Amino acid sequence: MTIFPLAGLLFDLDGTLIDTAPDLADAANHMLTRLGRPVRDEAAVCGWIGDGVPRLIKRALTGERFAEPDPALFEEAQSLYNTYYEAHVADRSRLYPGVAQTLADLRADGFRMACVTNKAGRFAKPLLRALNIASYFDLILCGDELPRVKPDPLPLVTACERLGVVRHGAALVGDSGNDMRAAKAAGMPALAVAYGYHHGVDLTALGAAAVTPTFADVRNFFRFEGRFLCAKALP
């Protein structure tokens, strides 16, 4: 039995660290207005978050989760959306309660930390800087840096490699089914936050080791349970 002490923590961004729905909704409605289409309320847009910006744009255009709009329309819409969102990425987005202090405490505890997001770097990195938490991470790995994104395990595996920690000595904190599936496929435990954009999905059924009601609880969970979560029997 080989025990890997918990050394690395990987964090999702949207719905885990930051409530980004207000700015995502504003960008979607700017796009729709420019296209002469009816705007969507923020709650509707919140329900579309979780599968990347291109899918969110398609949902805003069609009103359906997996419908495909006309390719030319989508290309125009994506350009409008991206230009606006890049300029307004942190207008109304806010950290969830306890995020900044908990990240500071975990950093002081000696964890290697990465933000692993499906969000493109042109949006994710300025957002993290604007809300003053970029410096807590040893690595920010964005969705346009690798050929595959979560729920594929590649981003988590790559983050561990770049942090210099083994997968069995790392854990993911996320809010969605994509996070839980990615962690399970990567062979690492995942802690789910109860808020965010999971849309009522049972994250425990998808592999979450536990669900925490607030981000402030993350530190205590890993301090007291990390050894158990990251124990791995090797041949």
Q: Looking at residue 188, what DSSP letter applies?
A: -
Concerning whether 19 is annotated as a catalytic residue, the answer is no
23 in helix, strand or coil?
helix
In the Cβ-directed half-sphere of 94, how many Cα atoms lie within 13 Å?
Answer: 5
Q: Which helix (H) or strand (E) holds 139?
A: strand 139-141
Catalytic residue among 12, 19, 23, 179: 12
Contacts for 110-113: CB closer than 8 Å, 24+ residues apart: 111/6, 111/7, 111/8, 111/9, 111/222, 112/7, 112/8, 112/9, 112/138, 112/163, 112/164, 112/165, 113/8, 113/9, 113/10, 113/11, 113/137, 113/138, 113/139, 113/163
Q: Residue for token digits 């959306």?
A: 81
- Report the catalytic residues: 12
